[in-house]
Amino acid sequence: MQKTCIVIPCFNEGRRFRSKSFLDFAATHPGVFFLLIDDGSSDNTRDVLVDLKSENAVQFNFFVQQQNLGKGEAVREGILKSLEWQKFDYVGYFDADLATPLIEIEWLLHHMEQHPHPEMTFGSRQRNGANIIERKTVRHILGRVYAGFVTSSLGLKVHDTQCGAKIFTSSLAQELFKEPFIDRWLFDVEIFCRLKKLQRDHPIPYREVVLRQWTEMGHSRIRIIDLISLPVKTARIFIKYLNQ
């Protein structure tokens, strides 16, 4: 297995963060490292991350942002700092709530190493009859409508743009994450826009991987105002990248 760093953005995760799950996974996957980003939490998240690193200082590291900048910037900061931390073949990000179980890191990496080698693999919550995808019907429908609009606009063959499980080659990550994102929640869309822009110069192979398991955790920090402003924010992203 190639040396890999997974960034975990954390905001007020102190009560529900499953340190044991991370430590158990790391113990059986010595080639996988974790960089956890405390995105300006107001609870005991930092203490949890300190304790986690004290248990395994080889595979775990953390960084504290003094202000809450949103998931997109937390991920971006984490990706860039992971590239400074050590030399990794792959870097990526997963959600702290483990809606995508950590074992799916192994699944995505398996596909990264298949021929032809993709430069990016990302999870899809598409049901295929053999996997376990637990998601509320309304959110599933809204997600499909939005993802369909985004991918048809970009001309990309992608089913699920918003799944929080993605892995990149370090070289591609350096390009995709070097600039700040426009929106704190729609950064996944912006990643695909940046990918599309890079493909104008040379082909970048990517692979969407149907996850074996994903469970909606029943919480969301997205506000009603974020949903109302979704069309405007999406338009801003498209205008920036598709008109260049």
Q: What is the pLDDT of residues 157-199, one digit of tens each?
A: 899 998 999 999 999 999 999 999 998 889 999 999 999 999 9
pLDDT at 62: 97
Question: CATH number of the domain that 191 lies in?
Answer: 3.90.550.10
pLDDT at 228: 61
Residues 6+ apart with CB under 8 A from 82: 5, 7, 33, 35, 88, 91
Task: Mark out the alpha helices in 90-129 (DSSP H runs).
Answer: 103-112
pLDDT at 223: 55
Residues 6+ apart with CB under 8 A from 106: 1, 29
Q: Structurally, how many domains does the chain consist of?
A: 1
27 falls in which pLDDT band (50, 70, 90)? very high
Q: What is the pLDDT of residues 35-80, one digit of tens each?
A: 999 999 999 999 999 999 999 999 999 999 999 999 999 999 999 9
Domain of residue 8 covers 4-242
pLDDT at 148: 82
For strands 32-39 and 120-124, give the pairing: unpaired
